Amino acid sequence: MVKIHDGASQLGASIALPRSPEEATLERVANPHEDALYLARFTAPEFTSLCPVTGQPDFALLVIDYAPDKWIVESKSLKLYLGSFRNEGAFHEDCTVRIGKDLVAVLTPRWLRIGGYWYPRGGMPIDVFWSTGAPPPGLWLPDQGVPPYRGRG
């Protein structure tokens, strides 16, 4: 389970990349617009992890959409957390769903979805999608904007 911290202690500080997701700390801050239903999107176009079998790097474009409730994620802590997967041996499905579940555990958002668009290894891309359920009524939900695989670069 990822560590949770209230506040932005990593922001503005020199922080080494955590060696693993277990060593990372996701920070949350109070949502300044808790009364509003809105969508926040984070896109990580250079996400990397390791194949748990071969140890070779795997690359993905992650798109994380969430409707905040009381908390929003502090973006530097999210970048460090995502970077901590660089040395993590895990299948695409594990990485994608784990990130979604960790964010839900930290933020308890009104709604969250994650799309993991993995670049092919062995000739086949694997796309992984996870959400907490149906989006709340009235939430503006744009398409994630990632085309079907045709050399995704």
Which residues are catalytically annotated?
51, 58
Q: Is 74 annotated as a binding residue?
A: yes
End-to-end Cα distance, the chain? 33
Q: Is 75 annotated as contributing to ligand binding?
A: yes
Is the distance from CB of 92 to CB of 52 less than 8 angstroms?
no
Tokens 């670069």 belong to which residue? 153
Q: What are the tokens at 142? A: 């744009």
Is-contact 84 23, C-beta < 8 A?
yes
User: How many CA within 13 A on the CB side of residue 134?
Assistant: 3
93 is an annotated ligand-binding site residue: yes
The annotation status of 92 as a binding-site residue, yes or no, is: yes
Is 27 part of any known ligand binding site? no
Q: Round to whole Å and give the CA distance between 52 and 151.
A: 24
Q: What share of the chain is helix, strand, coil (3-state, %, to 5)?
A: 20, 35, 45
Annotated binding-site ranges: 73-75, 92-93
Annotated binding-site ranges for substrate: 73-75, 92-93
